[in-house]
Chain A
């Protein structure tokens, strides 16, 4: 058996009484692509920070390249060849690509005067290592997420990296960009660099990694060859629960559409989009990041205006110019970014729950009916099983799944007919994801019309009765759930 590059044995770490890591092990071989998976709060981030010297472990042994590491600092870790690419990439957005790449070596070699020529050659070397084609003089802040990531990877390679840790690198990437990233990862592997790829996306784990390690609640659940893994096992290891994957079978579907969209066009986003949504249906809209799917959601909710076309609610033309118009027509939106668009994090769970229906809880001149308000809060907390000891606690004390349930509850309190969900389970752990899907199916059976906009294909296929595929702003096909599978949808999307 070859010598391992990184070996962590029995790592413990506690924060103020919370046992974040309870004796976990992790072994990474030279030139290996290793995937570390687990739900939010399972301890993956803590372990990364221990490996990179940000935290000190309470107990356990850490060996890198055969040497035992005791009390390392982040600088020591970098000198050893450990590089972490965080989700925010830690780049300087106001500087050029060249400056970002050359800055570290300029500083570490203590050059007092700037030599643009020297900096340019350093930067050029860095980008050619991964065949990254970029104008070195462009400002990093203007680059796409994928390009920023490539800048961060190029920079990481400048320090003779032996191990590159990527913390959920695909979160904000389009499918094409993910493919490009994977090609770079394979190139790095060919150069003998090990990659620790942190992700909770099943398909990525299968696609790129050779071996995997899964954590749950600070403990090692399973480590092994990816080829031995399948999706049911993966889910079980992650959550400790087994889920039967069942397709959604709609109940009674209404005859007349609740919501109809005719030739809706927003220049630069989507054009000539037409579809109908009936009571009891769950319709999926899927497409790449730039397909116009998010803009369509915003247009239906009145946040952005369509240039032409019509939106009909129950057969009548509806002018939806603001979210308030949409709510008046009984349309709600669960937005894409829960944290900035859906929730008031520091405010109470109670206020987060009632804000959309707030005017119904007040009498004349907007004075609260305090009893009614308290009853409504109690009802919503109970009905949506929001796990909190006290609804007066701040929204940010909730987990991702509970937060998403608060956003759902906020709208369902308003007795809507149509609910549009843009990425309903992004960043939600598998258990809560399952629960949220259950809520949506129940709502559809109770006669709501639900539109799920998502690029999570298994989610769309499992939950929707029909799937519309958007490509470059146009609906390219519509399939029944019975005929939809990932390969077919992907073929239309790309």
Chain B
């Protein structure tokens, strides 16, 4: 394959500042080339790309939230819990709003998104308070929250799916703007742009990078660590809630145990995207690329009927380890120890 030739001519770029991003691009281009050579007519169709663009936002949004928490040096393991509980509550609301003819009033969908996002913020704020005020390690606080929310969701639904929703909701979210761009993609893009702006153009972004680097120095510099953490977990909650609302449309139902694999998948996406699990480092472009990569791998593999979908985990895990090993190999050559000569946030500003 052409991978080797590319690798040698791009060596300069690969060792540079955006090394991690370029490596992800390389892996993605490699996979796209492989799909082009083997299944061109089945993979490179508009409808295929539209389908992918409607599928990845549900976990992509959750991953964006996890990324923010990881930048502060924490983690959020509750996005699926938040998503499912929000979806269930909003499903109840939609059923209550439905008119006598089975239609929804015009304000219903905006209202659902507003209340859904607020629900996410509220649940995220609880996470944030547990982490910042009660000082429970984030991994435990959000795992506990995840179980708690799943429990609430089961009690509310007796473990059954909430279905027979008004069709207008799923139809609206599953429609394509101008017949081309899926609404799910628009929601994801808006949120991704907002987070990009927050991270690179506002004091909030700089503060959470510094907080994640050294919480003690942040306190000694007069930052309000508690408020920053609560804000971050709220944002993560809002992202997860929006993911839940998209799941509600994609499956046309809500249930306490939808999307169980997404929790760890989100963590892996974020790490694959170059966010440091110890905090303070990582960029949204890397995470978005990792989200695309995961979706393309999964969809690509599905184009081979002879390969069982059970192989997806295997290949996904393989890619993750491959990128980590590439990171290790290039870091070993160019930078002694952990010392990066350029500050990670440098190019974001």
Residues of chain A touching chain B, judged by Cβ–Cβ distance below 8 Å, are 16, 301, 303, 322-324, 326-327, 333, 335, 340-351, 355-356, 358-359, 361-362, 365-368, 370, 392-397, 410
Contacts and interface: CB of A to CB of B under 8 A. Distances in A.
A248 B69 CA distance: 49
B219 interface: yes
Interface in B188-243: 201-204, 206-207, 209-210, 213-214, 216-224
Contact of B280 (A16, A343, A347, A350): A347
B221 A394 contact: no
Given A394-B339, A394-B340, A342 B220 contact: yes
B216 A392 contact: no
Q: Considering residues B204, B207, B213, B280, which has the most beta carbons from chain A within 10 angstroms of its beta carbon?
A: B213
B342 A392 contact: yes
Contacts of B46: none
Contact of A341 (B216, B345, B346): B216
B282 to A, nearest CB: 12
A351 B221 contact: no
B343 interface: yes
Interface in B292-349: 336, 338-346, 349
B216 A347 contact: no
B221 A356 contact: yes
Q: Shortest 4 CB-CB distances between A and B: which pairs?
A: A348-B343, A392-B346, A366-B203, A344-B213
A368 B202 contact: yes
B281 interface: yes
Nearest to B211: A344
B203 A347 contact: no
Contacts of A303: 219-220
B275 to A, nearest CB: 14
Nearest to A397: B341
Given A344-B214, A344-B280, A347-B210, A358 B339 contact: no
A344 B341 contact: no
Given A347-B280, A368-B203, A410-B221, 14 more contacts: A301-B220, A341-B216, A344-B213, A346-B213, A346-B339, A346-B344, A350-B349, A355-B218, A356-B222, A362-B203, A365-B202, A368-B349, A392-B346, A394-B342
Contact of B344 (A342, A347, A356): A347
B342 A355 contact: no
Chain A contact residues, majority secondary structure: helix
A361 B344 CA distance: 21
11 contacts: A303-B220, A335-B220, A347-B210, A347-B343, A347-B344, A347-B345, A362-B202, A368-B201, A368-B203, A392-B342, A393-B341
Given A340-B214, A346-B280, A358-B207, A394 B341 contact: yes
B221 A355 contact: yes
A471 to B, nearest CB: 27
A370 B216 CA distance: 27
Contact of A366 (B204, B214, B219, B281): B204
Given A346-B281, A393-B341, A394-B340, A355 B224 contact: no
Nearest to B223: A355
Contacts of A410: 221
Contacts of A356: 221-222
Contacts of B219: 303, 323
Contacts of B223: 324, 355
A253 to B, nearest CB: 28
B210 A355 contact: yes
A368 B205 CA distance: 10
Contacts of A393: 341-343
Interface string B52-96: 000000000000000000000000000000000000000000000
A361 B339 contact: no
Contacts of B280: 344, 346-347
Most chain B CB neighbours (cut-off 10 Å) among A303, A326, A344, A393: A344
A330 to B, nearest CB: 12
A3 to B, nearest CB: 40
Contacts of A348: 343, 345-346
A366 B341 contact: no
A393 B206 CA distance: 15
Contact of A394 (B203, B220, B343): B343
Contacts of A362: 202-203
Nearest to A354: B206
Contacts of B349: 350, 368, 370
A333 B222 CA distance: 10
A416 B299 CA distance: 59
A322 to B, nearest CB: 8
A16 B334 CA distance: 12
B339 A396 contact: yes
A366 B202 contact: yes
A323 B222 contact: yes
Contacts of B218: 344, 355
B75 to A, nearest CB: 19
B222 A347 contact: no
Contacts of A345: 213-214
A361 B205 CA distance: 13
A385 B129 CA distance: 42
A411 to B, nearest CB: 9
Contact of A346 (B201, B202, B203, B343): B343
A351 B343 contact: yes
Contacts of A395: 343
Nearest to A359: B203
A349 B343 CA distance: 8
Contact of B209 (A322, A351, A396): A351
B44 to A, nearest CB: 40
Given A347-B345, A351-B210, A358-B203, A324 B217 contact: no
A66 to B, nearest CB: 37
A365 B201 CA distance: 11
Given A351-B345, A355-B221, A346 B206 contact: no
A419 to B, nearest CB: 13
B230 to A, nearest CB: 15
A323 B203 contact: no
